[in-house]
Amino acid sequence: MKRGALLPLVGSLVLLLGSGLGWAGQYDEKERAELAQALKGTKVSLKQSIVASASKGKPISGKFEVEDGKLQLSVYNFEAADVDKAWKHLEMYEGESQALINQFHILLGNKNTSLAEVERFPLLAAYELCLKCSHLFNILDARGAISVTERVGVIARIRQLAVGLAKAYLAQQNAAVESSRAQKGGAA
């Protein structure tokens, strides 16, 4: 979905939900569903939504739903997160991140590899997976699913992954610098 197409939807949602339990609390589910259906095709800019909500006494900003989000995410992290699935996700993300790092080193070790292949290798994806591992560790820790001895081991694994990723990133950046130096030296 294009960014411009998302703004009318956000604007409509802000008008529907922006005033919280104010006017929205006066209607039952059926009436809210009918109102949502009626507003489905409505085009409202984010600016119009902010002005409208401010006039109702509940101004919004870019963080208008943050407080509810904090509560909901806290409930998830501390009470509702499925521990078994979180462990599985941690293992999958860790494995995928490590596989990307290993593939990068194989690519780097191949003498037939071009600089373009090295530069476009998706180490950023490995980084994102590593961040997800860290986040999942925090969820597991919040749920009390990690023992004291396990905690040390999991932290070490994620740290090792991050260090390996940092070294791969430096190698990627150095390959570009060395190539640039070689081109300058060859042209002289």
Q: Tell me if the pTM is above 0.75.
A: no
Q: Report residue 69: phi and psi, to 5°.
A: -65, -40
User: Of 60-64, 121-125, 174-178, where does mean pLDDT reach its minimum?
Assistant: 60-64
pLDDT tens-digit profile of 98-126? Answer: 999 999 999 999 999 999 999 999 999 99
Is the pLDDT confidence value at 25 over 90? no
Is the pLDDT confidence value at 2 over 50? no
Is the pLDDT confidence value at 52 over 80? no
Is the pLDDT confidence value at 27 over 90? no
Domain ranges of the chain: 3-64, 71-187
71-187 CATH choice from 1.10.3720.10, 3.10.20.740, 1.25.40.10, 1.20.58.180: 1.20.58.180
Q: At what angle do helices 83-109 and 123-142 cross, to 10 degrees?
A: 160
